[in-house]
Amino acid sequence: MKYDILLGLAIGVFAFLVTMGYNVFPIGLLFVTSYLVWKYVISRQMVKNGSGVAVPTTGIDFEDIGGQSVAKKELQEALDFLLYSDKMKALGIRPLKGILLSGPTGTGKTLLAKAAARYTNSAFLSVSGSEFVEMYAGVGAERVRGLFRRAREMVRKEKKSSAIIFIDEMDILGAKRGSNVSHHEYDQTLNQLLIEMDGLKADQGPNILVMGATNRPEALDAALLRPGRFDRQVKVDLPDKDGRLAILKIHTKNKPLAPEVRLESIAHETFGFSGAHLESLTNEAAILAMREEASEINEHHLHEAVEKVMLGEKLDRKPTTEELRRIAIHESGHALLAETVRPNSVSQVSIRSRGNALGYVRHYPKDDLYLYTKDMLEEQIMVALAGAVAEEQILGTRSTGAAGDYEQALNLVEKMLLAGMSSLGVTDISRLNADQRQTETRDILTGLEERTTKILKANIETLLRITKILEEEETLGGEVLRSYLQTVA
């Protein structure tokens, strides 16, 4: 951009000199020629820089990827079209041209693409979608052409029969046409990719399969997803409990675990973790063991690593005595109500600062649930409100520490409205005005807050006892907390 500004200034200077009577034709001709040559060289360099990165295909196998059994099975079935092309041709089956991997970040889409290259013994070329977008006209389209040329060259050079082109961040290269109205370079680049994919034919040179990865499939252009281009869409989702256990076993193969370590309990605690989160968890546990100069990774290392991945590192900041008591009351309120409405659900309670949290209560997921009833959502809202209600019951006031809890409660109320679980019934909430939504939200929260207050008032002595213990111990495990609750009862 700055070079175009300088060009504009230079043209202005030349125009001024012409009006003053100077003969600037020779200098102007030299300047324009130099600028065009410079722009051509820079553009060619940009095309070269976007030609992709050749990656060795001997490192990752499907057995090295855990927690994605469904995705692996579906992907391997699609890759058999490339692996047994002669058999498919005999049956008149058209070879697949593209496979789209979609799902949240950190779930292993890039690893699956690398494993696919090894599975099919293909040359592997990796590139990011952002490398194709430039302000210079035609550069992105030329990069696409160069990418496919290089894939064919790699097949000949490596003496293989096929190549896989992996395009990460596919939603940048393949965004819906017209979504970037200020710059048509995006559309030209996408058009060139469509042309190249249409030109992929098994009887014309080596087999080339295009694999794309995105966490925003809804942003892709419809022409890219039609049959004949990206023929298969493979969902790479967050792993379930069994998948998390498989991933943990893979990432602890090279780590010395103590005999008492139960990876099943860690898998149970880590609902919502991706493969990348679980890899980080095992790595952080090993680091914690090294800090303690331990020869093995113990279960408490893994539990603390779960907290670190979820919430961040412990902080040195020290709240005042008054703040510490308020935090203890707040977290005790969360924990007590959680154990009342969902027994055996608390994993740990702490008033140690970690990340952005002054204190926290970590819960055991009841199971890997994907559907929630009205009662379940109401229980979650009551647990979220319990911290502020406990503060008010004991100290008489609330604090800003409940801001995150209120945000969580409001999100849960929104889910209830969308699912028709409010007094409004099934309705299009986008048609409700602000007053209607606010009134319904307030009614739901007021009713649940009254229920929460009633439970905490009935157990006020227990709440005070847990608060005192938490102030002394700072952290309580779930089993220890429940033993205190039974003693009080």
> What confidence tier does 45 reach under pLDDT thresholds 50, 70, 90?
very low
| Residue 254 pLDDT > 80 | yes
13 or 298, higher pLDDT: 298
Is 331 designated active site? yes
Share above pLDDT 90 across residues of the chain, in percent, rounded to a whole number: 32
70 or 94, higher pLDDT: 70
| Residue 2 pLDDT > 50 | no
How is 324-384 classified by DSSP, letter by letter?
Answer: HHHHHHHHHHHHHHHHHHSTT-EEEEE-S-BTTBSSEEEE--SS--S---HHHHHHHHHHH
Least confident of 15-19, 193-197, 303-307, 387-391: 15-19
> Could you say which of 331, 391, 440, 449 is catalytic?
331
What pLDDT does 139 receive?
Answer: 72
Share above pLDDT 70 across residues of the chain, in percent, rounded to a whole number: 82
Most confident range (mean pLDDT) of 54-68, 82-96, 314-328, 384-398 is 384-398
Mean pLDDT throughout 223-230? Answer: 85
What pLDDT does 11 receive?
Answer: 67
The continuous run of DSSP H or E covering 282 comes out as: helix 275-291
What pLDDT does 64 receive?
Answer: 84
The token pair at 250 is 């893979």
- First-to-last CA distance in the chain? 72
What pLDDT does 21 receive?
Answer: 66
251 or 58, higher pLDDT: 251
C-alpha 397/C-alpha 389 separation (Å) is 9
Q: With DSSP H G I counted as helix, E B as strand and the rest as coil, what are the percentages for the chain, rounded to 5?
A: 60, 10, 30
C-alpha 311/C-alpha 286 separation (Å) is 18
What pLDDT does 182 receive?
Answer: 47
C-alpha 480/C-alpha 474 separation (Å) is 13
What pLDDT does 358 receive?
Answer: 83
Mean pLDDT throughout 404-415? Answer: 94
What pLDDT does 28 receive?
Answer: 62
211-249 residues labelled b (16+ CB within 10 A) or e (exposed): bbbbbebeebbeebeeeebbbbebebebbbbebbbbbbe
What pLDDT does 121 receive?
Answer: 87
Asked whether the beta carbons of 297 and 257 are under 8 A apart, the reply is yes
pTM of the predicted model, to two decimals? Answer: 0.73
C-alpha 200/C-alpha 147 separation (Å) is 13
Mean pLDDT throughout 134-147? Answer: 72
> What confidence tier does 448 reach under pLDDT thresholds 50, 70, 90?
very high
| Residue 288 pLDDT > 70 | yes
Mean pLDDT throughout 211-237? Answer: 88
